[in-house]
């Protein structure tokens, strides 16, 4: 099978959207510090670009969870692979994701982080695939709503590849 990638969202569109999200977040968190938590590995590219566009004080941490394995279908089980470095007590947490699919990952993190005593918790995702949602979830900041297609690039992978693409692309498989 040959893998073809078609551009879905260009680098320019991405930059523009991230600037807009950064401006909105800066406004909403005026006078506070945003504690950004990126969900590894996918959200790392977006998280860094977004942090650069936020003008209020920012601190960052990362967490790695696994729910996907190397297939393109979610297993439904969320497991902590790498925990946070810092406590969340009284922090204004902004969880940053690359893409929300079933919603299980963010749903799990929401409960976990609430139990750890954060002051507020909000969610920001670059992409949202609402057609695939299986749990109820309020997402505060969404970059782009996309159809139910498997995407790669800008941190997102297919079998650990294509994370480094500077745009978002859809995967197509063709016979060689
Ligand atoms: P959820 O828990 O089902 O919402 O899964 C979210 C996670 O699944 C994301 O953080 C991604 O790591 C992964 N994922 C979901 N859809 C895609 C996709 O189209 N391409 C790459 N990764 C995806
Ligand atoms: Mg992710």
Per-10-residue mean pLDDT for the chain, 176 residues long? 94 98 98 98 97 98 79 67 97 98 93 95 98 94 96 96 97 84
Looking at the domain assignment, is residue 174 inside a domain?
A: no
- Rounded to the nearest angstrom, the gap between the alpha carbon of residue 120 and the centroid of all alpha carbons in its chain is 18
The DSSP secondary structure of 87-140, one letter per residue, reads --TT-EEEEEEEEESSSHHHHHHHHHHHHTT-SEEEEEEEEE-GGG--S----S
Q: 101 alpha carbon to ligand 1 midpoint, in Å?
A: 5
79 within a domain of the structure (yes/no): yes
Is there a catalytic annotation at residue 101? yes
How confident is the model at residue 73, as a pLDDT? Answer: 54
Asked if residue 25 is part of any domain, the answer here is yes
Cα separation values, 140 from 30, 37, 94, 95, 171, Å: 16, 14, 9, 10, 28
Q: What is the pLDDT of residue 70?
A: 46
Query: What is the structure's pLDDT at 77?
Result: 75
pLDDT value of residue 174: 86
39 CA closest ligand 1 atom index = 10
What's the pLDDT at 75? 58
Residue 166 covered by a domain: no
- Structural domain of residue 101, as residue ranges? 11-148
110 lines ligand 1 (CB under 6 A): no
Q: How far is the CA of 134 from the centre of ligand 2 (A)?
A: 16
Residue at 173 is within a domain = no
Domain of 36, CATH number, reads: 3.40.50.2020
Q: How many helices (H) and strands (E) does the chain have?
A: 3, 9
Spot the catalytic one: 61, 101, 115, 159. Answer: 101
Number of domains in the chain: 1
């Amino acid at each position: 099978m040959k893998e073809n990638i078609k551009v879905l969202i260009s680098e320019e569109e991405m930059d523009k959207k991230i600037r807009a999200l950064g401006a909105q977040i800066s406004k909403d968190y005026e006078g506070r510090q945003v504690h950004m938590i990126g969900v590894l590995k996918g959200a790392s590219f977006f998280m860094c670009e977004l942090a650069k566009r936020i003008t209020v004080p920012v601190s960052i941490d990362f967490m790695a969870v696994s729910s996907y394995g190397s297939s393109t279908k979610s297993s439904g089980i969320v497991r902590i692979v790498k925990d946070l470095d810092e406590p969340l007590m009284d922090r204004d947490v902004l969880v940053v994701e690359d893409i929300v699919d079933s919603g299980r990952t963010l749903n799990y993190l929401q409960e976990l982080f609430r139990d750890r005593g954060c002051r507020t918790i909000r969610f920001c995702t670059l992409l949202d695939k609402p057609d695939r949602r299986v749990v109820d979830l309020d997402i505060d900041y969404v970059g782009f709503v996309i159809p139910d297609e498997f995407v790669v690039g800008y941190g997102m992978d297919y079998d650990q590849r294509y994370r480094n693409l500077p745009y978002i692309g859809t995967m197509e498989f063709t016979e060689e």
